[in-house]
Structure 1
Amino acid sequence: MAHGNIEHVNITVTDPERSKTLFEDLLGWKERWRGPSLMGGRTIHVGDAHNYVAIYTNDAAKGGFAKGVPLNHVGLQVDDLDAAEKVVLGHGLETFSHSEYDPGPRSFYFFDWDGIEFEVVSYE
């Protein structure tokens, strides 16, 4: 059986610099690349050596997506959930649905400025 992982996720946002900074602060990621997109507009790749988020925008990007359109949420794993929540709150975003599954991870959710939902989990 083959083994795989998600190499990248491509999201559309209204302010890619703001989103890039959130991922850098939340996950310790760095900008890997930026430039024009093949679809028009522009893209910033922010991540680590193995995976990244492609943050895309164009003149038509409006944000305000409804939950579940086009996806339910993106899961992000961190080492320190409390520190991660402080970063999210520090960016002016609200967290919700805090939970702890026995014996699984602790987690919380947040929506970014464009309505994209993220779940942040920690197996600490």
Structure 2
Amino acid sequence: MVPYVEHANVTVRDLDNTIRFLQTAIPEFAVRHQGQQPTHRWCHIGTENTYLALQEVVARDQIDRTPYQDLGINHIGLVVDDVVQVRERLLSAGYRENDMETRHPWRQRIYFYDRDGIEWEFTQYLSDDPLLRNDYSL
């Protein structure tokens, strides 16, 4: 068996907004299950083999985190078949794109923020060759 990431667990402000964002970007993602705890709702969304475990934040006055400077998730990367289609769907739905430079001959990447300000990376690989897909020389 080849090891792989089965899931990531992410706390979000509004579960429904994040589900809507993910299904706009990747319509194939399905809610596998969802539930209610005494303090928050949660769900698993993805495919049969991999998913994101989402839970709503427990209400509090502020979140103390500066992305890329403090501990925590900076972005979550998802592989897609066509980043152009993902971009079109997300922009049409009113989501904000991070316009950082991502040129590479063997992969296309785009970054978008959901309604909670969580950054999501979508990557389309342009080669099946692992040496090219994982090239970091550029």
Classify the TM-score, shorter chain: 0.7 to 0.9
Q: 2:100 is paired with a residue of what secondary structure?
A: strand
* CA–CA separation in structure 1 for the residues paired with 2:12 and 2:58: 11
- Long gaps (5+) in structure 2: 127-138
* CA–CA separation in structure 1 for the residues paired with 2:86 and 2:101: 13
Query: Compared with structure 1, are the counterparts of its residues 63 and 116 closer, same or farther at alpha carbon in structure 2 (3 Å cutoff)?
Result: farther
AA at the equivalent of 2:66: A
Q: What is the number of residues matched between the two proteins?
A: 121
Whichever of the two has the greater Rg, that structure is 2
* CA–CA separation in structure 1 for the residues paired with 2:45 and 2:123: 19
Q: Over residues 59-84 of structure 1, what are the superposed CA-to-partner deviations in whole Å (9 max), with x where a residue is unaligned?
A: 41666953134122111111011000
* Contact 1:81-1:120 within 8 A present in 2 as well: yes
* Contact 1:109-1:119 within 8 A present in 2 as well: yes
AA at the equivalent of 2:100: S
Query: Compared with structure 1, are the counterparts of its residues 90 and 99 closer, same or farther at alpha carbon in structure 2 (3 Å cutoff)?
Result: same
The TM-score, its normalising length taken from structure 2, stands at 0.76
Q: Which residue of 2 aligns with 1:32?
A: 32
* CA–CA separation in structure 2 for the residues paired with 1:71 and 1:59: 18
Over aligned residue pairs, what C-alpha RMSD do you find?
A: 2.2
Q: Which residue of 2 aligns with 1:44?
A: 43
* Contact 1:63-1:113 within 8 A present in 2 as well: no
AA at the equivalent of 1:116: I
Does 7-16 or 86-95 show the bigger shift? 86-95
The Cα of 1:17 is off from its aligned counterpart by 0.8
The TM-score, its normalising length taken from structure 1, stands at 0.83
- Long gaps (5+) in structure 1: none
* CA–CA separation in structure 1 for the residues paired with 2:73 and 2:25: 21
In percent, how many aligned pairs have the same letter?
26
Q: Which residue of 1 aligns with 2:22?
A: 23
Give 1:98-109 correspondences, 5 Å limit.
Answer: 98-102=101-105, 104-109=106-111
Query: Compared with structure 1, are the counterparts of its residues 65 and 30 closer, same or farther at alpha carbon in structure 2 (3 Å cutoff)?
Result: farther
* CA–CA separation in structure 2 for the residues paired with 1:11 and 1:30: 17
* Contact 1:8-1:53 within 8 A present in 2 as well: yes
